[in-house]
Structure 1
Amino acid sequence: MELNIFGRRLTLGKAPASAPTAPGKKIRPARGAKSQRVAEQIERPYTYHRSKAEMDVWVLAENRARNPVMPRRDRLMLIYEQVMKDGYLTGQVKTLKNKVLSGGFAVVDKKSGQEVDEVLEMLQRPWFHDFMNAYLDTDFYGHTLLNFRYPAEDGDHVGEFTGFDLIPRENVVPETGEVLQRVTDSIGIPFRNTDAPYTKLLVEIALRDETGRYSLGILNKAAPEIIWKRYARTDWSRRSEKHGMPLVGLTTSAVEKSELDDKEMALANLGSDGYILLEEDEELTFHEAKSNENGQMYSGIKDACNDEIAFMITGQTMTSQDGASLSQSEVHERVQENYVVERQRSLSYFINFNLFPFLRSWGYPLDGLEFKWRTLLDEEAAKKKAAEAPTPEDPNANPTGPEHGPQGTNAPTAPGKKQPPKPGQGKPGKQQLTLATPNFTKPVAQASATGRIQLAGTDKENTKLRALFDKVVDKLHAESPKLRKMMRSPEFRAMLKETGDQLSDGLQEGYGAKLPELEYGTPDAVLLGKLTTSLYIFSANKSYKLLTELNKLLLDGGQVRPYADFKKQALQLHEDYNIQWLKTEYDTAVATGQMSAKWQSFQENAEHYFLKYTTAGDSRVRPAHHDWDGITLPVDHPFWNTHWPPCGWKCRCNAVRVPRLTNTATSQDRLDNLTTTPPEFGHNAGKTGVVFPESHQYNDIPAGAKPILRRMATEEAPTAKPK
């Protein structure tokens, strides 16, 4: 019987002519025909050499970074991390950077050329050295985005910057000018061409290649050299292991397995003072490798790769390798010096045309000043001295006459003596400068998705809130109303509203959305609406607390206190409630808004991720928060109900998503020994919809006042748009 199945004819009940014959007969396929053995018909995959496979990974990472639609540098940065583990490359980079940064520098007045030591002292700080180091790193990594921390508010350097954070390069897309919360995001936080307040703290260092595109850095060119060298050394090591040690041979007539096993064991232990007993007719021989010259091939590959790396970084090789003649080394040293000078010049251009304007915007007194390397100043001074030196042919040299005296008033003084400055003239070569107090705007400590970007808010007193406070004080002193009546007054309600407005602004800045612009009923509108209302209730309770404190100050021994005395003491309360404490509460509102938005976004595909608690990682991290660092748990774990940032005043902690496939959840033993969060922060605002919980001291008010304040706060709080 014949059947036609999928275009093929099969015969049932009768063996086809091509069926295999009985065992014992050998069948050879016709020329050109496939073998009848299944194993021989399987197509075996092509096996890549390891270096070829890793090179392909680098090519894919480079193409991903150059993608015209969605460029991403995350994979390239992982390769750079491995590349920088190469000792030779690291040494070359450090050598170049040390030569560049070892040069002294000065701040000079552009017109007079005089050095300004007072401003120079403001740059002789650790952060400025770190900045120059980060600028040089841009040459290797291709792009750098720095987020400065807010200036110091106390200590010896008030008003000056204390440091900055490097925004992870894998999160930055220079082609679109965005910082990604996650490298898989299609849209990020814009840091160019925007009036957003956080841009006030950002400094971008961007280099372009010869094609005009954003550079991927020298490390991209060095990556293949490192890959080739790494596997050449691996192959060299394997060959040395195989051919470097001599082989031992034993000629014996023994045939018994037990005897042969004993002799094999003795041969295996022959090294390290081992020994072997031989029969009279046995002979032991050592076979040395005839030549190991083929090993030089691997050494040649290593040297060639190192030469390429040296050329990329310093333009020459002989200053880092042996075997060069003195004359050759001098030539190569001059080439390296040119590379150093070129980088110093590039760095000085960026400081003068980018960094100094940034610092001036924060109040640094840099008008009319410029940064210069000390070597350049010395060269200029030498040229000026040579140009001013009189020549023997100059008839005006050392003039004499009645108007000049014996040698003239321009005659040089005796060696070792200095001419005194003329009246009204400062110290020669220096300019006296009175430093103004830097006028800066305090950045709010808000952690972005990368834990780096900080928003620049305000450090000045809220003049509107001060005016409303004054009205409350005046009414309270003039009328002495009862507390309940004063609480219902328009003056008190206006102060309540302004406090709520300010905290709400911080909340919305952190959340990244404005409540009135959200559509009613959406998840963001619901969560942000709850948080906003809770802030206005908090502001109402806080204002009531302030009112009760003012009411206590009003009477002195049963008599109304004189206005001047009352106002003076009232302003002390204003300083605490409406300036110092309000700043900290504003920071907390910003951080709460940002972390609440993150919690909302983390609910999507939650089953595929863990959440990981992270700290700022510096010496200012509190011990308790340090203990929580690195805790990794599922999104629905109860730990996040009580340990969701911010977990304290001025808390800079963060939480990030990590894949479940490549991470392990924290053990219960570690969780059992953790410290608890303060009562004011022992909740997850993203779940509760409350910024400051009931445990906060402001909320400890009489039960009769609570519903009144709550009603007023709810009426003042903004809401989302209806559908």
Structure 2
Amino acid sequence: MPDPTTVSKALPTPIYSTLVLTPPRREINDIGNWKSALRAADIGIRFPLYDLYSSILLDGSVTDAINKRIEAITDADINFITKDGKQSDVMENLINSLEFERMLESIMWSRFWGISVDEFTFTPEFDFNSIPRKHIRPKEKVIVRQQGDNDGISYAGDDMIIQWGRDDDLGLLLKVAPYVIYKRGGFGDWAQFVELFGMPIRIGKYNSLDDTSRRMLIEAFETAGSAPYMVVPKESEIETTLMSGTTNGALYDDFRKACNEEILITILGQTMTTQSGSSLSQSQVHLAVQEKKHRSDRRFVIRMLNKFFVPLLEKRGYPVRDGKFSFVDKKDELSVTDLKTLSEILPIPRSWAYEKFGIPEPKNDEDILQSLHPVESVQQPFVNGSKKPRTDEVQEPKKDPGKDNEPPVRNTDKQSLWEWIKGFFAEAPTGAGAGTIRMKDDSDLDGKIADEVWNGEELFSPDLFRFFSGEFLNAIETSFKSDVRNIDTGFAYNAPDDVFRTAMETNLYHFSAAKTLAEIQELNRLFRESGSYPEFMEKAQQVTKAFNRTWQQTEYDTAVLTAEATSQYRRLVQNRTVFPYWQYLTVADGRVREEHKKLHGVILPANDELWNKIYPPNGWNCRCRVRGLMTFQVEGEDLATMRQRVLDFLATKEWKMQEAQGWGVNRCDTAQIFTADQMYIRKFPEQAASYLKKMTAERWKQPTVQQMKESAQTDMPPRVEQDEKQLWEEKAVDGVISLTDYDGRKIVIYEKQFFGHTSAKGRDNRIALWNAMLDTLMDPDEVWLNNEIEKNSLEKAEQLDTYCLLKFYRDEVVAVNYKIEGEALVLKTWYIMQTNLKGKTVAYMKKNIWDKRRWGLLIKKR
């Protein structure tokens, strides 16, 4: 191979060393400067624009956003693959050098400045210098000695110089510059506002006929400090007029945030990965947008390297002919779990796996590590031929003869729970559903849940509940939440979007809890019937596979399809005056079930009550849909015959079977993904009360109240000294105060509720906790779904419809409760949860205070 250091350069003196560099011009810029610089750049004079860019890059939001995109390239792994598919040690050394990383940065900067021009040297090591952009005339391919020169050295055809970027590109900084200029001007106005109104103004009044008093007042103010003052005659009037709502400079802050958002959207395509977001689902969407930008940058960098840098290296004698640079694909970043899953469907060479994870292949007769938990080796102790009884047996609650004592999990004398569920899902088709929508397969969870039951768990599994609820929430977030947010008003219960979404989520939390209780009960039945651990695990695998994958898949697809149908339903209702008729349509492919084909093409008035029976989905994995029709589109159609087709369908045996399984309800109108008849527990949550009231923080494996306070980072926000009437007048609009919770939902507090909490005396006057309440709403440490605000809540666990938010500070614990009431999410109460023992024992406080707040379904935790 030729030695790269022996190839001489065409020009003995680098161009970079001959340039006369001029520092950027620092001045106060306005939009006029930006427009003038842009006009100059249009005729080929770019240095005024580049001076402006240098000033723009002093803005922290701009540099942080740009660094995100650059670091996504420099932090990624790059390979160079030769023509025979191998890696070269010479190229690996080059890629791992600091100079190569600087070159990647230079390529990326061309996306923001428009171009980068680099001059390379090999004397003897690989190195380069970036030509200052003010000296580059890209259209003429000329580098000028001084920034104002017209003539210079041509770099066209110079194989030691590479230009990254297009000749006419002025970069993303061109679009960013106006917002930075506006923001700086706004900051200046804000600073002036603070100077004028941030410090109290002292006003001295004197008799207009007494000039001596005026001079004495001025002298007194001058010697009493630097705060602003005014000296006016007593007869004059002084008035300071401020715009409503901007007395604290909020208008300037909103303007600053708006400019920052435009900057981030221009550079990153979104805002939430740099600024705080309102919910996890939204942040995931924003992260996906950012990743799309990163993929575009990776393609750009690779194309630049392969088109321009590889030929330069080849001329220097590097072994790069017919090779190419590439980023390491995510498909190469396999985890052990990914490998295990892939090995079930693809033949993977064992030698590749050893090499991939850097594990030496064992030689003949060499000792190897064994599994720490081999199934066959674990045995349960027996006493007199039967399993040793558990010492942590959970006592069944006493039955009340006056109440319905049917077991909370569905069962009958003739059928076991297992047999009933298998029969219930027998009609759920597996091949006619969404098809492309699939949840994750977590086989590790199956073994963990079975082990929990073997080790004594008889009630509930938090991990299993989080798995179920997490999958279902993901289903409606991806299919419903992003769409429905753009709708002006809601129509289920005439409710806004936040109310409808919360109702759907509550329904899914209930369903997930019921399913968790049912699975744990079934596994406990198997435990009692099994004679050994291997026997139990073999039977448990069938149950967990059915619950966690087979049925979960059907339920997940149903949730997705219901959310999609709900989004469309709300649009149709919104536009019912435009589309007074609706038409039922199937997907019309080979997987449509026969009974649904009978409804294909049916047209009914939008207000026909039959839609409450057949509106899709109207069966497991139903993919049917409804579209709106205008009046002229149904002219000549026999609507009476079509309605009879629906009535005939509802009389069929197939429909009766579907109705028995909980269908025949327009869940798009009731915010129910799963109806009461489809719950794994009858009358959930009433019949589950005896179980779920035991699910306190300890059962959820949450730290104690004392531990949560000890790990807190801040004290409770300062108490509000403001008068409650003044705060109401400042915050209320149309008789209601609107707040925002941790998931971006609108929470309202009505006048009666507000003054009921803020007009009392002493401890009951909670106006002082207003800031702490807002902080708890936006950033809770725990969110419980229970009925904490009801009297004797642990004895009356009937609804599980109240969201109880807790925030742990170093000095106090604040609780906030809200729930759906009518057409709004209503703030019901906020208060300090007592944590001072005051002579009480921890056990007493836990039973009588703490566990009455920290129980039910834990849906969010720190």
TM-score, L = length of structure 1:
0.40
Task: Give the alignment's TM-score, normalised by structure 2.
Answer: 0.34
Q: Which has the larger radius of gyration?
A: 1
